[in-house]
Amino acid sequence: MTGTILEVSQLKTSFFTENGEVPAVSDVTFRLEKGEILGVVGESGCGKSVTSLSIMGLVEQPGKVVGGHIAFKGEDLTQASAKKMRQIRGNDIAMIYQDPMSALNPVHTIGAQLMECLGLHHKATRKSARRQAIECLERVGLPQAEQLMHYYPHQLSGGMCQRVMIAMAMICEPEVLIADEPTTALDVTIQAQILELMKTLNREFNTSIIFITHDLGVVAEICDRVLVMYNGRVVEQGTIHTLFKAPKHPYTKGLIQSVPDVREKKQRLYSIPGMVPSPGEIKKGCPFAPRCERALAQCYEIEPPFIKYENGDAVRCLLYEAEKKEVTTHGRIGDFTRSPQPKKVF
């Protein structure tokens, strides 16, 4: 791995509705290293998809990126012009969506859709675009690529469509690939094929991947590092080895314990009490406090800081604050730029 390719700091994206400002993402900070697969896990409404849309500059009205920075190749994407974003999107940063059937245009052939990206970004001639498109389809393991160019999306199965989506995202050889639940709509045997393919592409092209999912099994399978999100915030980050073996945040712990295991039968599943709060519902303190078994009185009062460790791990929980102070006196805190404590918005 050689250096950071994408750095998101204190990203805040809000939706302006009739009921006022709703922060879908209230504080997201992370770095994506060259060639790594970074997992983003969380339950519905935690802001994982809005984070990816913010990076792509695809947040639509009434949503807006209201704070923070997204540094990509020395440029702040939050400040980039629409024209600049169009150049980056699809060319430098590409995206794969959950439902391939609805992400592909039903009235254009696979070939036309693949060649369009090349024409837009590389001003390729028809002939060379066609050749590259066929190569790309072969690379993602689709048989009879030449015939496939003339097919329409409805003639393909879900797994094949997702391969076409991946081919389309990879055709301009982007440096960053954002995959938003790319295997959720697929069956397990097909999911295994797609995960294998993404691992191969990551190795061969050294593409950095942000892999958004709700499935902890998939994370353990494919990712190098993970961010756990809850209510618009990153609550924990770490390598998959530290995160699964020694999760810090009570939410991460609960999440890992509540997954039924195919390997053994548990008598009773652990379940986190209560429900996922809607964005902006909790205005004070730690958003997880009402569901947290270890919540302290001050958890309901103070928004916990994002505590960073030397090895790159981080956790947003008051339980670890005392511990961290010891760390600071003994050594430096990673090479992260120390961010000021997030301001309370409400």
Partner 1 sequence: MVESETLLEARNLRKYFDVKGSGGRKHPNLLKAVDGVSFSVSKGETLGIVGESGCGKSTTGRMLLRLIEPTAGQILFEGRDLTQLSQREMRKQRRHIQMVFQNPLASLNPRRTVGELLEQPLKVHRMGNVSERKQRVMALLKTVGLNETAYGRYPHQFSGGQRQRIAIARALAVTPKLIVADEPVSALDVSVQAQILNLLKDLQEAYQLTYLFISHDLGVVRHISDRVAVMYLGRIVEIASTEDLYNDPKHPYTQALISTVPIPDPEYSGERVLLQGDIPSASEPPSGCPFHTRCPLAMEACKTVVPRLQESEADHFVSCHLYHKVEA
From the number of C-beta atoms within 10 Å of its C-beta (0-12, 13-18, 19+), residue 245 rates as exposed
The most distant pair of C-alpha atoms in the chain lies apart, rounded to whole Å, by 67
Contacting residue, 70, 137, 140, 272, with partner 1 by CB under 8 A: 272
Contacting residue, 34, 108, 130, 214, with partner 1 by CB under 8 A: 214
Of the ranges 30-38, 55-63, 78-86, 184-192, which one interacts with partner 1 (CB under 8 A)? 184-192
Q: Is 221 in the site for partner 1 (CB under 8 A)?
A: yes
β-sheet bridge partners, residue 236: 228, 315
Q: Is 184 in the site for partner 1 (CB under 8 A)?
A: no
Alpha helices in the chain (DSSP H): 48-56, 82-88, 100-103, 110-122, 126-139, 145-148, 158-170, 188-205, 216-222, 240-245, 250-257, 321-330
Contacting residue, 82, 262, 297, 322, with partner 1 by CB under 8 A: 262
DSSP β-ladder status, 233-239 and 225-230: antiparallel
Nearest distance from residue 230's CB to partner 1, in Å? 10
Nearest distance from residue 56's CB to partner 1, in Å? 24
Nearest distance from residue 89's CB to partner 1, in Å? 30
In this complex, which beta carbon is closest to partner 1, that of residue 135 or of residue 187? 187
Q: Is 259 in the site for partner 1 (CB under 8 A)?
A: yes
Name the phi and psi angles at 102, rounded to 5. -95, -15
Q: Is 203 in the site for partner 1 (CB under 8 A)?
A: no
Round to whole Å and give the CA distance between 236 and 257: 16
Helix, strand, coil fractions of the chain, as percent rounded to 5: 35, 25, 40
Q: Is 268 in the site for partner 1 (CB under 8 A)?
A: yes
Round to whole Å and give the CA distance between 171 and 205: 11
Cα 324 to chain centroid distance, Å, stands at 27
Of the ranges 13-21, 75-83, 89-97, 186-194, which one interacts with partner 1 (CB under 8 A)? 186-194
The site map against partner 1 for 99-128 (x = CB under 8 A) is: ------------------------------
Contacts of 82 (CB under 8 A, 6+ apart): 57
Q: Is 276 in the site for partner 1 (CB under 8 A)?
A: yes
For partner 1, the binding residues (CB under 8 A) are 43-44, 157, 159-160, 187-193, 195-196, 214-221, 240-241, 244-245, 254-256, 258-263, 265-266, 268-272, 275-276
